[in-house]
Chains A and B, each alone.
Chain A
Amino acid sequence: MRWLFVNHIQNARQSLKSNRMRSTLTMLGITIGVASITAILSLSGGASQIVSNQVNSLGGNIAVVRPGAQSETPLQDLSQFPSPEHFAASTLTTSDIDAIKAVSHVSAVAPMMVLSGSVKAKATAPTSTSIVATTPDLATVSGLKVQDGEFLDPNLNVYTAVVGPQLSVDIFGTESSIGKTLTIRGKVFTVIGVLKRTSDPINYNGVDFDESIIINQEAGRLINQGAVQVQQINIQSDSIADLNQVIIDTNKALLKNHLGEADFTVLSGDQIAQPTNRLFFAIAGTTTAIAAISLLVGGIGIMNIMLVSVAERTREIGIRKALGASNGDIVAQFLIESLALSIGGGISGYVIGYLISFGISSFLPFFPIFTWEIAVTAIVVSLVIGTLFGIYPAIRASRKDPIDALRQYD
């Protein structure tokens, strides 16, 4: 039987080679589908990895509290587009911050209140940007460094700000903007520091610090009609060993604060790394849809071509049956041929998918990742498509009556 299998493979190769153009076009649908899947997975993996690396480079002792319960499935992630701005009515409050500060082994707590608004300097037109209202601990937790001046200082006037280098260039025309003033929502802020360029537009804070302005939490409250909306609380523990205990204790403390309602999530490690960028999810969602449609159409294409192939080779089927092929042999022959088509499409899709994601990544701050899971996914998807859409033509071929089949002229 093993030799028969080998023969089916040789036979499929021969038959596909003799119709090279047709086979290539048929594979194209699967190729596009698998290429999309490979590109999404490798890029999202790359994005996750870059955030994981950040968390690890900060010492790996970071946990993050976000409002809302954790989404149950990745699919929900795709449809919900979570992002800091999205949680306008945050369930996190200032009392939560105090509760976390009281947890033992917590070395730093940085609440983040991200507002969107425009920043105006005298000379330039208003620039829209992310306004991050936080506490001085953010510098420690997120590893932010100033290249000029100082970070937020509670002893100074509340209307002081730290600007990202790119934002500084955008509104003042220079990175040296210490002492200059700018206006946010009618309040005048004095720049006391300029951040060091990080070139990390993707990070677990969901904010590109190069282009943001950081102000005191109190100032944020004052320009937000006196309300504090905390979208994320970054926690740093004393050491990695303490992190688990800190997470458990934080959960307990917050649960008590929220009267037993778990409307918040404490994340650590790889969970933080799940991409939260809205655009990313939009692209991933669209690409997934393209992949699904393309795989469906590709599968139908395979079925179509296999039906044509069965019709064309009716006489051959008759001959093979007369020479001793059982129905199972005929099913195997045609099924292996459709599998060869879909796996061929899958392999070329895998390669093309990586070419695409490397092409895209030249515009992105990260590289696609290589994991065995992506390769296995590509192969499994093409196997499933090949079987699903190849089985009907194969069974149809095997059911042909040998006498009728032999009577057909080709």
Chain B
Amino acid sequence: MVKIKTSKTEPVIVLRDLKKSFGIGDAEHYAIDGVDLSIRKGEFIAIMGPSGCGKTTLLNILGLLDSKIEGEYDLEDRPVASLSARRQARIRSQQIGFIFQSFNLVTRLNVIDNVALPLVYKGTTKLNREKQASAILHTFHLGEREYYMPYQLSGGQTQRVAIARALVNNPSIILADEPTGNLDSAASHIIMEELSDLHKRGNTIIMVTHNPRLTTYASRVITMIDGKIDTDTGTPKRKEETNGKRPLGKKRKKAKRKKEVATA
């Protein structure tokens, strides 16, 4: 579905000494305190860390929802600071897909309208919107739930709808904030399989999670503490060749070891 010509050496996202503060004067506090990060196309990044370490703030900044930042953020070689609000909205509409922890479906819209919502701001016609939304719902096995209201769905179904919505406009970057935070392990597993499927198709995925087990799906794990990057497994060198399944087992062990070190 998503065909992206990946030149994997080109970084999509570059952060240089990124800072984000809340409050003023003596109460000023840096939620992000000097983050340098470079993310390449096609990476599956899991960001871990304790509550309040700035994971979600970082994700919001990456998703252009928060533009009051210090430092530099280049998205596809363009400094974000130079983009107008309208341009940023266009990028959110066309290149970025959001998956929220609390699903964030619009409660008064039915499933298909929720999924079609990003297409509205792309200027797609109603018929095409519904066609595309219906198609993607079918791939998520939600074809029979198209005209359900969000409150009529189970947690897992709701999150699948939210993922379908994030993917409906073929974004190249997917930002997921604890996508399985509200789900049991079986439902989590299904969601994570979907995400790793997307990853295999070449999408860049940045996921914030509390659950160490989920990092096994990621190609790179970053842990944050107090607004700074604590550990970073880095970009695997043999990324091009390791697009398949085989090397994942190796990384899974590696990540697990990292996590044990971090929590010890």
The one of A1, A321, A329, A409 in contact with B65, judged by C-beta atoms closer than 8 angstroms, is A321
Is A326 on the interface with B (CB-CB < 8 A)? yes
CB within 8 Å for A3 and B124 given contacts A15-B108, A324-B94: yes
Report chain A residues within 8 Å CB of B108.
14-15, 18, 316
Is A6 on the interface with B (CB-CB < 8 A)? yes
Q: Is the CB of A327 within 8 A of B126?
A: no
Q: Is the CB of A325 within 8 A of B121?
A: yes
Q: Is the CB of B117 within 8 A of A322?
A: no
Query: Nearest Cβ distance between residue B264 and chain A, in whole angstroms?
Result: 33
Is B132 on the interface with A (CB-CB < 8 A)? no
Q: Is the CB of B118 within 8 A of A324?
A: yes
Report chain A residues within 8 Å CB of B123.
1, 3-4
Is A315 on the interface with B (CB-CB < 8 A)? yes
CB within 8 Å for A315 and B104 given contacts A3-B125, A324-B92, A324-B118: yes
B144-167 with Cβ < 8 A to chain A: 165
Report chain B residues within 8 Å CB of A1.
123
Q: Is the CB of B117 within 8 A of A323?
A: yes
Task: Name the residue of chain A whose CB is nearest to the CB of B168.
Answer: A323
- Of B89, B109, B118, which is in contact with the most chain A CB atoms at under 10 Å from its CB? B89
Is B44 on the interface with A (CB-CB < 8 A)? no
The one of A4, A18, A316, A318 in contact with B120, judged by C-beta atoms closer than 8 angstroms, is A4
Report the contact-size class of chain A (Cβ under 8 Å from the partner).
Answer: 20 to 34
Query: Nearest Cβ distance between residue B199 and chain A, in whole angstroms?
Result: 21
Query: Nearest Cβ distance between residue A340 and chain B, in whole angstroms?
Result: 16
Is A375 on the interface with B (CB-CB < 8 A)? no
Roughly how many angstroms separate A15 CA and B109 CA in the complex, as a whole number? 9
Is B93 on the interface with A (CB-CB < 8 A)? yes
Query: Nearest Cβ distance between residue B117 and chain A, in whole angstroms?
Result: 5
Report chain A residues within 8 Å CB of B102.
409
Q: How many residues of chain B are within 8 Å of chain A by beta carbon?
A: 32
CB within 8 Å for A406 and B100 given contacts A3-B126, A18-B108, A320-B117: yes
Binary contact track B106-136/A, C-beta < 8 Å → 1, others 0 = 1111000000011011111110000000000
Q: Is the CB of B106 within 8 A of A7?
A: no
Task: Name the residue of chain A whose CB is nearest to the CB of B91.
Answer: A324
Q: Could you list 26 A-B pairs, sorted by A, with CB under 8 Å? A: A3-B125, A3-B126, A4-B120, A7-B120, A10-B126, A14-B108, A315-B104, A316-B106, A316-B107, A318-B104, A320-B106, A320-B117, A321-B89, A322-B63, A323-B93, A323-B117, A324-B94, A324-B96, A324-B118, A325-B89, A326-B85, A326-B90, A327-B86, A406-B65, A409-B102, A410-B107
Binding site for A on B (CB under 8 A): 60, 63, 65-66, 85-86, 89-90, 92-94, 96, 98, 100, 102, 104-109, 117-118, 120-126, 165, 169
Binding site for B on A (CB under 8 A): 1, 3-4, 6-7, 10, 14-15, 18, 315-316, 318-329, 402-403, 406, 409-410
Q: Nearest 3 A-B pairs (CB), nearest first?
A: A324-B93, A326-B89, A324-B121
Query: With A319-B117, A402-B65 given, can you name 12 additional A-B contacts, CB distance below 8 Å?
Result: A4-B121, A4-B123, A10-B126, A319-B105, A324-B89, A324-B122, A324-B169, A325-B121, A326-B121, A327-B89, A403-B66, A410-B107
